[in-house]
Amino acid sequence: MILIVTGATGGIGSCVVKKAMQSPAVEKIYGMYRKEEKFNHLFAHAENKLVRVRYNAAQSNENLQFLHALREINCETVVCVHTAFCLEPLLRVGTYLPEDIKKNVSVNVVNMVLLVNELIRLHHTKGIRLRIINIDSGAADRPLEGWGLYCASKAYANMFLKTVRLENPQVGIVSYEPGVVDTPMQEKIRQTDSAVCGQTELFRAYFEKGMLRSPETVAADILARFVENWDVRHFKEGYRTE
């Protein structure tokens, strides 16, 4: 089995990669990332089973590199855990800079569609058994002040993957809601001006009361349920799970 992890330098993504390195079920890990220095720091002593794949929708040459890396995959089963999402800008509509919009859409929409499109192509052309695990968020279902682009892109990802699932019922696709997790993303939220983002105080309270899940716990749950054991009940009961 090959495991693809997007956002390999993020809170959940890096923990998934590290735990997968110890899993006998995973033969090779494709760690997909945007930040070179952070990847090198996290995985300086990584095992040979980790393949580094840099990608960035804003850089066409890097797009070609990551698509080429995916096309070299030749195995029976591929599992993709999609954790890569850009939270910024945490601003109200009307105050975005053009580059803020471009970065958010590039990471949250363009990169995701490029990746899934290539995985579906591999599924059909090479007969690969494919599973896609999308890290979900409550922001996909309800508007939050200051979170406009993030909410919209999370909703986009869910609807796009529902369409992929409709077109490809033999592909296992699930959207996993991890709850509120203690990641760098949460730290950014707590540092945001509450006058801009209405939920800032709520997330600060979650942190102060010790209500955040650890990314290590979430990663272990993902590996156990969707990589090593693959509980098919989730796909019979519906697209989303907790």
Q: Which two tokens stand for residue 228?
A: 């090593």
| Cα–Cα distance for residue pair 209/212, rounded to 1 Å | 8
CATH number of the structural domain spanning residue 173: 3.40.50.720
Higher pLDDT, 45 or 123: 123
A 10 A CB-CB count for 198 gives: 12
Q: With 60 as the cut, is the pLDDT of residue 192 above it?
A: yes
Residue 208 lies in a domain: no
Residue 112 lies in a domain: yes
Answer yes or no: are the C-beta atoms of 59 and 106 closer than 8 Å.
Answer: no
Answer yes or no: are the C-beta atoms of 194 and 20 closer than 8 Å.
Answer: no
Residue 120 lies in a domain: yes
Higher pLDDT, 37 or 92: 92
Tens-digit pLDDT profile for residues 71-128? 888 888 999 999 999 889 999 999 999 999 999 998 899 989 999 999 999 999 999 9
Domain that holds residue 139: 2-179+214-238
Find the mean pLDDT for residues 182-197. 81
* Number of domains making up the chain: 1
Residue 187 lies in a domain: no
| Cα–Cα distance for residue pair 219/112, rounded to 1 Å | 20
Residue 200 lies in a domain: no
> What backbone torsions phi and psi does residue 133 show, to the nearest 5 degrees?
-115, 115
Residue 52 lies in a domain: yes
Q: Who contacts 173 (Cβ-Cβ below 8 Å, separation ≥6)?
A: 131, 132, 134, 161, 164, 165, 235, 239
Residue 186 lies in a domain: no
Residue 197 lies in a domain: no
Q: What's the pLDDT band for 199 if we cut at 50, 70, 90? A: confident
